[in-house]
Structure 1
Amino acid sequence: MPSSSTASQSELKANGVPLHWRDSCSALLIPLNVCRTKNNYLPWECEHEKHAYEKCQYDDYLRRMKELAKLKAQAQAEE
């Protein structure tokens, strides 16, 4: 199920995003890469885009860890 931060496959392909970067935060990666290319990868030029992408990645990580903990608790309860 695509979320608001997931780009379509055609957008990802048009922007040359590799397969291993096509995750739930892919819509934030496209403007980050455009900004990086436009500003010659200067680290202080694309801070807002980078922080937005990293926050999305972290929130996704937390969501997956909570889901895993829930599954482990269910499995332990069934034993």
Structure 2
Amino acid sequence: MGGLNSTYKGPLPDTEGPILFDPMLGFPEGRKVRKMHVTEDEMASAMIEQEYRNYCTHKLIDLHSCFQKNFPMNWRCHHEKHEYLNCSYEDQILRFKEYERERRLLDRQAKKEARAKRLAAEELHE
């Protein structure tokens, strides 16, 4: 109960659409470039499903190869599993931060537009 009252009323970024703001906005020295460590061909040959093809795929491939090498004693792959889960967690945190950054920039843009509209209305009344 009360979920409707506590929802965010401001503009929300479109998660499926393109990025609206310059990714370098607010980063004077630039940002660290994220790169894929494996190619599409390597992911296809490792039979990685589409939903798992992300920046942590190289860790997932290592985990799968460890599972194959150590079967049926897969507990020996705890280090690879930990690395993959940690990479996935960090990737998700980065995506959360990007979403939050986009939301705040949309909020900032809406406030600037409202202020400009208010100032224009004040000039008309004078």
Q: Same fold (TM over 0.5)?
A: yes
**Aligned pairs for 1:6-45 within 5 A:** 6-40=37-71, 42-45=73-76
Percent of aligned pairs with the same residue? 28
| In structure 2, distance between residues paired with 1:77 and 1:44 | 49
Structure having greater relative contact order (Cα 8 Å, sep ≥ 6): 2
* RMSD of equivalent CA atoms: 1.8
Q: Which runs of 5+ in 1 are unaligned?
A: none
For 1:66, the aligned partner's letter is K
* Deviation at residue 16 of structure 1 after TM alignment: 1.3
Q: Which has the higher helix share?
A: 1
SS of the equivalent of 1:17 reads: coil
Which one has the largest radius of gyration? Answer: 2
Hey, what does 1:71 align to over in structure 2? 102
Deviation of 1:54 (Å): 0.7
Q: What is the CA-CA distance between 1:2 and the residue it aligns to?
A: 6.3
Q: TM-score of the superposition, structure 1-length normalised?
A: 0.84
For residue 46 of structure 1, give the secondary structure of its aligned residue in structure 2. helix
Q: State the 1:57 CA deviation.
A: 0.4
